[in-house]
Structure 1
Amino acid sequence: MLCSMTGFARVEDVCDQGNVSWELRSVNHRYLEINFRLPEEVRRIEPQLRKLLQSKLARGKVDCTFRYQLAEAQTAALEINEPLLESLIKQVNHVNEKLPQATPAEAVDLLSWPGVVRTAETDMNSFHTSCLELFKNATDQLVDMRGTEGKRLKNMLQERCDEITNIVKRVRIRYPQVLESIKQKQQQRIDDLNVDMDQQRFEQELVYASQKLDVAEELDRLDSHLTEMQTIFDRKDPIGRRLDFLMQEFNREANTLASKSADVETTQAAVDLKVLIEQMREQVQNIE
């Protein structure tokens, strides 16, 4: 399946602990590179998050950002360490008995003592489960967007392949006319010189020239590459690397065709081929 490496996904949800959100961004990359930006509370499940993403994607640089805001009930919930507070009060009373002139301790002073007041612990297992489920939704959204972008890229590549097919057909039809034109030009030069001509030698030279200018092999290979493109489009696994290699082969045949060109039309066809191939190559860089 043809998928782009470019995509974006953002999902939000409200769980018991508060508001949570995931933001995923992916761009083209040679391999699969995953970067997480997580608060310390979520670091524990990073291996699970990474494994999930690796099961969905094959290539691309993916940045995953997690944000959350605790609910008011979570931020306001405080607990008092009763045993510690009772022990602290007992010790304060004991000190007051020893030092009657000392300033009495106030309630705020007691509550400020380390460990007396503590925040209620959040149910982290439930919180992590919510984070994982939301991340799955974000990943599915990212995969869908990459697939949609991949369909657009496939249509663009298919249009360029159709144009290349038409160019190859034109050059193939034009080739016999080019050889005939060369033969006439050579004959005209000999006629202008007004000398006796060795017909056998003349035919040999024409055969030699036609061999040097023969582009049938290049045209056949271009047709073969076009057929291979359609085969690759139908594959279910990632195809970006295969297409990238095929673009190199396309470009090689276009260069050879240009070097063998003996007329303006064939040269222009070779230039048009290289433009189309370059357009395809640029887009192929973004295919997974």
Structure 2
Amino acid sequence: MIQSMTGFGKHVIQLPTKKITIEIKSLNSKSLDLNARIPAAYRDKELELRKTIASSLVRGKIDFGLYIEITGDETSSKVNEGVVRQYMKQLNNIVDADQLALLEMAVRFPDALKTDREDIDEAEYKTIKEVLQTALKEINTFRSEEGSMLEKDFADRVGTLQNLLEQVESMDLERQATIRERLEKAVADIKANLDSNRFEQELIYYLEKYDITEEKVRLNNHLDYFMTTLNSKDSNGKKLGFITQEIGREINTIGSKANYAPLQQLVVQMKDELEKVKEQMLNVL
């Protein structure tokens, strides 16, 4: 079953003095591109968190955010009293203002607040890892649901391609007869005396040149292989992408050999369907 690279997962948990929120968003990308926003206190754990995310999501442009909001009396920031008093003293020499106004100006300057770096609370970090796992389950569920819709779309479009290929096969005999008739008419128009055996040999040569039997067989095989891969257990967008390229090659070759307007119209329809498959394939994990 295929998965989309597009997804969203979010989980929130409330602790006695903190609210922990984890958000994960993903879009399509050729490889894993992980952008992480993590509080400074947890920078030492960033590599571990990245590995956890990478092992679960594998590929895509990932935005990961860890947000910790203080909801109790706990705070890691304190007023730097000495610095603030110095600012107020210097400001008093510049402007004539009361103490409250000086204080309002002073606390806006650099270093007015100091933040003490706290050691990581292992119990809190354990909770963060649990919240992360829940968010990853949510985004993978989202990806699977999106993948189900993509899978149905691919199956419908490949079915359309197979129907068009059947039309190509039924039209091929008529096409060959038309090409033969066209060549015979061209020879008759020039009113030349030609050796009938030599003409027949040349005719066979041209008919073989325009023969699309191998392309039809290969295209049918590629379409079957695409469906087999689509229905496999693992999501493999890159492999499906390679098969799509091979399907495109066979369709292009049939178009270049067609030399018959009705068949070329079918080829245009096949190309249109395949282009839609390619566009959606960019989203497959």
TM superposition score normalised by structure 2? 0.80
* Aligned residue number for residue 177 of structure 2: 180
1:44: Cα distance to partner? 3.1
Question: Structure 1 pair 138/260, CA: closer, same or farther in 2 (3 Å)?
Answer: same
Equivalences for residues 219-238 of structure 1 within 5 A? 219-238=216-235
* Aligned residue number for residue 239 of structure 1: 236
Equivalences for residues 94-173 of structure 1 within 5 A? 124-173=121-170
Cα deviation digits, residues 180-233 of structure 1 (max 9, x gap): 122223334445556655322232122112111101111111101011112211
Structure-2 separation of matches of 1:189 and 1:213: 17
1:266 aligns with 2:263: yes
Structure-2 separation of matches of 1:138 and 1:267: 50
Secondary structure at the aligned position of 1:74 is classed as coil
Secondary structure at the aligned position of 1:165 is classed as helix
Structure-2 separation of matches of 1:31 and 1:194: 64
Equivalent residue pairs, number: 248
Structure-1 separation of matches of 2:162 and 2:233: 25
Cα deviation digits, residues 224-282 of structure 1 (max 9, x gap): 10111122113333411111111211111111111101211111111111111111111
Structure-2 separation of matches of 1:244 and 1:274: 15
Could you tell which deviates more after superposition, 47-56 or 190-199?
A: 190-199
Secondary structure at the aligned position of 2:173 is classed as helix
* Aligned residue number for residue 84 of structure 1: none
Once superposed, what is the RMSD of the aligned Cα atoms? 2.4
The structure number with the bigger radius of gyration is: 1
1:122: Cα distance to partner? 8.6
Structure-1 separation of matches of 2:268 and 2:154: 18
* Aligned residue number for residue 82 of structure 2: none
5+ residue gaps, structure 2, are 79-114
Structure-2 separation of matches of 1:238 and 1:184: 50
Structure-1 separation of matches of 2:185 and 2:48: 79
1:257 aligns with 2:234: no
Structure-2 separation of matches of 1:64 and 1:170: 49
Equivalences for residues 195-214 of structure 1 within 5 A? 196-214=193-211
* Aligned residue number for residue 36 of structure 2: 36
Q: What amino acid is aligned across from residue 70 of structure 2 in structure 1?
A: L
* Aligned residue number for residue 111 of structure 1: none
Structure-1 separation of matches of 2:125 and 2:134: 14
1:17 aligns with 2:17: yes
Query: Which residue, 251, 274, 277 being the options, matches 1:277?
Result: 274
* Aligned residue number for residue 100 of structure 1: none
1:123: Cα distance to partner? 7.7
1:164: Cα distance to partner? 0.6
Secondary structure at the aligned position of 2:63 is classed as strand
1:9: Cα distance to partner? 1.4
Structure-2 separation of matches of 1:135 and 1:15: 15
Structure-2 separation of matches of 1:283 and 1:239: 13
Structure-2 separation of matches of 1:174 and 1:38: 62
* Aligned residue number for residue 26 of structure 2: 26
1:25: Cα distance to partner? 0.8
Q: What amino acid is aligned across from residue 250 of structure 1 in structure 2?
A: I
Identity %: 30
